[in-house]
Structure 1
Amino acid sequence: MFERPPPRAAKFAEGRVGYAVGDIHGRADLLALLLDRLEACAEVDQRPAGAPFLIFLGDYVDRGPESHTVIELLLSGRPAGYERRYLRGNHEQIMQAFMDDPVATRAWVLQGGAETMLAYGVTPPSPMTATEEDWHAAAASLRAAVPETHIDFLNGLERYVALGDYAFVHAGVDPARTLEQQADEDLYWARERFIASRRPFSHRVVHGHTPVDKPYVDERRIAVDTGAYASGTLTAARFEDEDVSFVSVSSRPVFRTP
C-alpha cells in the first residue's frame, strides 16, 4: 500500500520558516557568504511557532578545496537563531567508508576524496601505483587527522527530515516505499530513476546531489544543488506556508584537480 500523493500546493511546517542548503562540496568561501546572508534573515524569520529551520542537504566534503573548513563552519553555530538539521550525503558516506575499508572504497580518491585528504593535511595515494599497504596507511593518517568533533558530526548526520508536506533528502527517494522505509542507496545516491519517475509520493521532495544550472521546481520535487564547487554558486531554498523562493551566493568557480 502506497502513501498518499502530495497536495498540489505543498505546505511547509505550520507557522515556521525554513531554508534548505544545497551541496557545498568544500566551498567554505561560499558557505561563509551564505551564512552571512542568512544571519540577516534570522530575526525577520522568527515566528511565534518557533525559530526558522536551517537544513543542510549533505555533501559538505570532497571536490572543493576546503572540506575541513566547511565542517568547522557548520559546527560554529553561526548564524544564531536557527534550528539546524544536517543530512548525510553520499560523499560523507563514502568518506567514512574509506576510513574503515580503504581498499574497497579507494575510488573515493578519484571522486573528490583527494581534495578532502589534502584539506586535512594528508597526501592521497596514487590510484595507479598504491599498494594495499599504502591505502591502509592513508586511511590511518586520515583517521588521525580528522578531529574528533568532525567524526562526531559525521556520525550524527540524519538520513532525511520531514517537515509539513516536504521531505528533505540528499539525493532522492524510491516512490514505491514509504519515507520511513527508504534505503540508504536511494536517499544518498538516487538520480535518473528518481528524477524520471512520475509515481506519486507522500511528500514533495527537496534534494541536492544532481547539479542543476538553476533551482528546479515542479509538483514532485525541488532541486537545489547548483554545482557550487565548479559553478561558484551555492543556493538555498526558502519555505514558508506554500511559498518557495531561493537565495544564492556566488564567487569564482573552483574546478577539481586532475
Structure 2
Amino acid sequence: MTGIHYLDARGPDGIRVYAIGDIHGHVDLLRDMHARIAQEIARDKSADWRIVHLGDLVDRGPDSSGAIAFLMSAVARDPRCIVLAGNHDVGFLDFLAQPDPDGLFARHGGRETALSYGVDLVMGDADSLRRSHRELAAAVPDSHQRFLRTLPRSASFGDFFFCHAGIRPGVALERQAPEDLIWIRNEFLRYPGLHPKVIVHGHTPQAEPEVLANRVNVDTGVFHSGELTALVIDGAEKRLMSVKIS
C-alpha cells in the first residue's frame, strides 16, 4: 500500500487548516488559540480556512462546561469550525447514561468536569454515586449532551486525516472502527510505515509535539503543561503554533 510522507503532504488548495490538540477543560487557552488564529486569518487575508479540534474537550482541566459552550457557539457561528470526538468526551456521555465508579470519567478527571457544572462528584459508596449522578445529569444542559453525541470521529483535508487517537494500520481510512479512532495507541504509534494520508492526532500527551513521517501528534498535555498546541497546514507549508498559560 502506497502512502504519503509528511514532507510531501499538502493541504487542500486555497484552504488553511488549523488542527488543535486536546483541550481538557482549558477554555482560557482555547480562547487564546482562536484569537491568534483569527488574527492570522485577518492579517494574511486567507481565502478559506478550517479549524479542526481533535477531541477531549472535557476532564482534568478547570472548565469543561465552558469549553463545550465555547465550541458550540463557534460551530454555530461558522461551520468551518469542526469538533471531533475524543475518548473523554464519549466517556462523559457514558457516565451520564450509566454511572460507573471504575470507568474513564470517574477515574480520569471527571470530578473536575462535574465541578464545572457546579456538582461535587462523590463516589465513596453506592448511595453517594447515585446522588452525584442525579445531580450531574440534571446540571448538564441537554444542548451540551446533544452536541457531544453528534461529534464526528474523523475529518480529512488534502493529504491529511484528522482523528483523536489514530488509526489501525492496514485498514482503509473509510473503514476505520469508531473505537480505534478515539482509543488506539500502541499499534498505531509504533507503526513505522506510511499511511494513505498523514494522520494528525492527539490522545497521547508528549512534552513536545511529535512530527514524524506518517503522523503528527499535537497533544502537549495541556492539563499539566499549560500549553495548547496546533498544527497549521497551508498548501505545502506546515508549522506548529502554541499558546501557554501566562
TM-score of the aligned structures, taking structure 2 as reference length = 0.92
Deviation per residue, 1:86-105 (Å, 9 max, x gap) = 10000001110111111375
**Equivalent position of 1:95 in the other structure:** 92
Indicate the residue corresponding to 2:58 in structure 1: 61
Give the direction of change, closer, same or farther, for the CA distance of 1:44–1:105 in structure 2 (3 Å limit): farther
1:85 to 82, 90, 95: 82
Pair 216,155 (structure 1): closer, same or farther in 2 beyond 3 Å: same
| Contact 2:194-2:213 at 8 Å conserved across structures | no
- What's the counterpart of residue 227 of structure 1? 221
Q: CA deviation at 1:241?
A: 1.2
Mapped to 1, the partners of 2:187 and 2:9 lie a distance apart of 23
Cα deviation, residue 47, structure 1: 4.4
Question: C-alpha distance in 2, partners of 1:79/1:240?
Answer: 24
Unaligned 5+ residue runs, structure 1?
253-258
Counterpart residue type for residue 35 of structure 1: H
**What residue ranges of structure 2 are gaps of 5+ in the alignment?**
none
Structure 2 counterpart SS, 1:193: helix
Inter-partner Cα distance in structure 2 for 1:191 and 1:45 = 37
Matches within 5 A, 1:41-56: 41-48=40-47, 51-56=48-53
8 A Cα contact 2:169 2:187, kept in partner? no
RMSD: 2.1
Which amino acid is the alignment partner of residue 113 of structure 2?
T
- Cα distance per residue 1:95-129 (max 9 Å; x no partner): 10111111375452220111101111112123xx3
Percent identity between the two aligned chains: 36
| Aligned partner of residue 116 in structure 1, secondary structure | helix
- List per-residue Cα deviations over 1:151-204 (Å, max 9, x = no partner): 121012111001111100001100121112111231111122211112332110
Write the mapping of 1:94-133 to structure 2, written as runs, cut at 5 A.
94-103=91-100, 106-126=103-123, 129-131=124-126, 133=127
Q: Which residue in 2 is equivalent to 1:218? A: 212
Distance in 1 (alpha carbons) for counterparts of 2:206 and 2:30: 18
TM superposition shift of 1:75: 2.0
Change (3 A) 1:184 1:135: farther
The whole-number CA distance in structure 1 between the counterparts of 2:91 and 2:10 is: 33
8 Å CA contact retained: 1:25, 1:64: yes
Report how far residue 44 of structure 1 moved. Answer: 3.9
Corresponding residue number in structure 2 for 1:10: 9
User: What TM-score does the superposition give when structure 1 sets the normalisation length?
Assistant: 0.88
Change (3 A) 1:174 1:243: same
Match of 1:171? 165
Counterparts of 2:110 and 2:86, CA distance in 1:
14
Q: What amino acid is aligned across from residue 62 of structure 1 in structure 2?
A: D
> Where do 4+ consecutive residues of structure 1 move more than 6 Å?
78-82
Aligned residue number for residue 143 of structure 1? 137
Greater Cα offset, 163-172 or 199-208: 199-208
Q: Secondary structure at the match of 1:245?
A: strand
Out of 205-214 and 141-150, give the one that drifted further: 141-150
Q: Is the 8 A contact 1:54 1:82 kept in 2?
A: no
